[in-house]
Structure 1
Amino acid sequence: MEFLGELILILLATSLLGQLFSRFNMPAVIGQLLSGILLGPAILGWVKSGDIISLFSEFGVILLMFLAGLESDLDLLKKYFKLSFTVASIGVILPVVFTGIASYLFGMKFVEALFIGIVFAATSVSISVVVLQEANQLHTRSGVAILGAAVVDDILAVVVLSLFTTFSHEGGKSGLTDNFFLNLAIEVLYFGAVWIVYKFVAPYFMKTAEKLDVNYSVVIASLVLALTMAWAADFVGLSAVVGAFFGGLAIRQTPQYKEVNASVSAIGYSIFIPVFFADIGLSMTFASFVRDLWFIIVMTILAVLSKFWAGKYSSELFGFTKNEGNIVGAGMVSRGEVALIVAQIGITHHLFPEDIYSSLILVIIVTTVISPFILNYFINKQKNA
């Protein structure tokens, strides 16, 4: 039962370091991220990211995005859809161009450089969600813009990845079939199914669950619905976190959403979500740090600036203040699990040199770790303005 010992260490470290950062008026999630680096092979080597930890981590990010959907105001999401689409589109193009050109200048082949650009195209909003929640900023227009842009961003990143693997004749399938246009049609059908679930299935499903004489029947029903949508999203080639988010949106418009939010928050934040944050840090090592130092520095700077500028200047075009634009830009910086998944696809199918894989993972983790610092800085600046 080695896993139990590792789980105890993770829960203790995430709680203690989270509390430490909270005492200094910083997001607890930063401490949780750093706990994985501390416990993992980068420093102490007490915990390794195995199958069970990865499973807990995957469930944690699904619960996190389900909760984000539960706390989202759909009317605001609709209101800022044009902004979200603009931020997401530019936020995919700039990293592909910036990091792709940089990779090419570091000696990569054109196709390899292009794929590395795609690795940094996707945003992971999971970290930003927690920072926004802790600062009570999730319902502001900056928070809504970040959520909306992250969802659109994930879809666009999947489309770009599908295009790459289809037309480069390299890599594996990034959808149900080998045909990009058929995959795209299937994904469009998925969003049609999401609308049906939102409009008709969720209200009836939750009303029926409420009549069952079973403890927490409403919570169980909500998790069944959310996990089904997450599984279906993954099945058609999208990220499971997209399905989980839409599952939360569907439950949000039912009378039972407050009960669901309270219960799922207790489940998620007591065990699964801390493991998710720690698991990001567990992937970090400094083995290739010295050898690839300049590559790591340049790619980190470009990865941060490309997403930050995309969010900042796009939102300012839609009438956001300068600091609101900074918040949106900072909220889009984190790469997290989406970029890690894309990088894993790349190394599995030999789409870039194996010897830079660790350095890419390090850049992904660094952007994920520093993003809450940047976001928290601009949120505090907004509050003090």
Structure 2
Amino acid sequence: MLIFELMIILVATKLAGDLAARLGQPSVLGKLLIGLILGPSVLGWIENTDVLSEISQIGVILLMFIAGLETDLKEFKRSGKAGALVGLGGIVVPLGLGWLSGLAIGLDTLEAIFLGLLLSATSVSITVQSLREMGQLNTREGNTLMSAAVIDDVVVVILLAFLLGFAGGDVNLPLLIGKKIAFFLIAILVGWKAVPWLLQKFVPLRVTEAVVTMALALCFLFAWFAELTGVAAIIGAYIAGVAISQTKQKAEVMHKTETIAYSIFVPVFFTSIGVMTEIQGIGGNWWLVVVLSIIAVLTKWGGSGVGAKLAGFSTPSSLAVGAGMVSRGEVALIIAAIGLEAGLLDNSLFAVLVVVVLVTTVLTPPLLKMTFPKQQ
């Protein structure tokens, strides 16, 4: 069954992506929508299985690894202050209005704060693909988005740990913060010193694709270590890509990783987002989906956009940066699952939020297309 599903996914995503491109939209939009059509909400041809989920996870890791390979490290460093303002702006506004919205629909204080935290999450994996298609990933705006995503991930997870502690979860906050600091210190040190040395050692090996194999192994190692320390795996993969981008093997790794990723793993990732969404579980809560979707889009867009404006971006660029932070993607889905397990969400609200996450993810590519400054 898995083999047949993979065949459907690979063919359908390429055709849907081509159709979206012909209609003047990023191809990723078509790939996202075809997942919804193929999934249980419409045709039911693809099931959300554990195996498919794991393949999807590899897809998003490789996508962010490639984004790291394309990053201009000097520009990324220059974007640090702007990234902080964009990331924090994209947390404060959704958190505040999400909390008020939760109180308005009858949630208690902790549940309402959790809703605000979930709406504060960001996943730039979809944004990365859209910017690559538009040739805008390695720009000031693109590097600011990547920097903001790292800051957003760390701050939201720490705030989530605080909340779980208040809700009765067994959370050692100093340990949690310490693990995150340790991750970044170790990842940066290993990326700076060990990664170039390891890749160079694999160059003379008399086996096929030794360098690319080592590069992928490092990508997965960094992603695993990130998850182990409570940081999103995509951040680890991105750092691994940045590290390898500074080596002589960058071009070879980039070319061959793109072939591997975009042939099978990335299409599965795009499709799985729609497959995970079961519209039938919403029941009579469509009005809540609409309201929370509007809040989710406008608060992140506005909050991050204001942060970009404060960092010195023009108004069009600020709108574009804000749009790039709108997608909640797999990060918000993970947080929603944590909330369900901790009793901070009930099943009906969980189903609503899954659809809200899908809405923000699907809207991000056309928003970027509409707002991003044209390439000079």
Using the size of structure 2 for normalisation, the TM-score is: 0.97
1:331 alignment partner in structure 2: 324
Q: Aligned partners of 1:154 and 1:384: how far apart in 2? A: 29
Q: 1:210 aligns with which of 196, 200, 203?
A: 203
1:305 alignment partner in structure 2: 298
1:319 alignment partner in structure 2: 312
Once the two structures are TM-superposed, the CA of residue 25 in structure 1 deviates from its matched residue by 2.2
Q: Aligned partners of 1:191 and 1:147: how far apart in 2? A: 15
Provide Cα deviations, 1:328-385, integer angstroms capped at 9, x if missing partner: 0000000000000000111122112222111110001111011111111112xx2289
2:265 alignment partner in structure 1: 272
Provide Cα deviations, 1:86-110, integer angstroms capped at 9, x if missing partner: 1111211211111121111011111
Is 1:36 the counterpart of 2:24? The answer is no
What secondary structure, in the 3-state scheme, does the structure 2 residue paired with 1:383 have? coil
1:107 alignment partner in structure 2: 106
Gaps of at least 5 residues in structure 2 are none
Q: Taking structure 1 as reference, are residues 245 and 305 closer, same or farther at Cα in structure 2, changes over 3 Å only?
A: same
1:211-290 equivalences in 2 (<5 Å): 211-289=204-282
Gaps of at least 5 residues in structure 1 are none
Provide Cα deviations, 1:67-121, integer angstroms capped at 9, x if missing partner: 1100011111110101101111121121111112111101111111111111111
Mapped contact 2:94–2:299 kept (Cα < 8 A): yes
Provide Cα deviations, 1:117-152, integer angstroms capped at 9, x if missing partner: 111111110000011000000111111111111111
Once the two structures are TM-superposed, the CA of residue 167 in structure 1 deviates from its matched residue by 2.9
1:81 alignment partner in structure 2: 80
Once the two structures are TM-superposed, the CA of residue 314 in structure 1 deviates from its matched residue by 1.2
Q: Which amino acid aligns with 1:15?
A: K
RMSD: 1.3
Q: Aligned partners of 1:204 and 1:247: how far apart in 2? A: 14
1:124 alignment partner in structure 2: 123
What secondary structure, in the 3-state scheme, does the structure 2 residue paired with 1:120 have? helix
Q: Aligned partners of 1:21 and 1:155: how far apart in 2? A: 34
Once the two structures are TM-superposed, the CA of residue 214 in structure 1 deviates from its matched residue by 1.3
Q: 2:348 aligns with which of 350, 355, 366?
A: 355
Mapped contact 2:110–2:163 kept (Cα < 8 A): no
1:63 alignment partner in structure 2: 62
Once the two structures are TM-superposed, the CA of residue 14 in structure 1 deviates from its matched residue by 0.4
Is 1:376 the counterpart of 2:375? The answer is no
Provide Cα deviations, 1:263-289, integer angstroms capped at 9, x if missing partner: 110011110001001000001222244
Is 1:201 the counterpart of 2:200? The answer is no
Q: Which amino acid aligns with 1:324?
A: S
What secondary structure, in the 3-state scheme, does the structure 2 residue paired with 1:55 have? helix
Query: Sequence identity, in percent?
Result: 38
2:163 alignment partner in structure 1: 164
Mapped contact 2:328–2:357 kept (Cα < 8 A): yes
Q: Aligned partners of 2:186 and 2:346: how far apart in 1? A: 39
Provide Cα deviations, 1:151-203, integer angstroms capped at 9, x if missing partner: 11111111111111123324xx6xxxx31111211211111101211221011
2:49 alignment partner in structure 1: 50
What secondary structure, in the 3-state scheme, does the structure 2 residue paired with 1:48 have? coil
Moved over 6 A (4+): none
Q: Which amino acid aligns with 2:286?
A: L
Q: Which amino acid aligns with 1:201?
A: A
Mapped contact 2:85–2:310 kept (Cα < 8 A): no
Q: Which amino acid aligns with 1:23?
A: R
What secondary structure, in the 3-state scheme, does the structure 2 residue paired with 1:351 have? coil
Once the two structures are TM-superposed, the CA of residue 57 in structure 1 deviates from its matched residue by 0.3
Q: 1:293 aligns with which of 268, 286, 302?
A: 286
Q: Which amino acid aligns with 1:237?
A: G
Provide Cα deviations, 1:20-51, integer angstroms capped at 9, x if missing partner: 01112211100100111010111111111101
What secondary structure, in the 3-state scheme, does the structure 2 residue paired with 1:320 have? coil
Which stretch shows the higher mean deviation, 130-139 or 351-360? 351-360
Q: Aligned partners of 1:194 and 1:288: how far apart in 2? A: 41
What secondary structure, in the 3-state scheme, does the structure 1 residue paired with 2:248 have? coil
Using the size of structure 1 for normalisation, the TM-score is: 0.95
2:7 alignment partner in structure 1: 8
1:115-154 equivalences in 2 (<5 Å): 115-154=114-153
Q: Aligned partners of 1:102 and 1:183: how far apart in 2? A: 29
- Corresponding residue pairs, total: 376
Mapped contact 2:293–2:359 kept (Cα < 8 A): yes
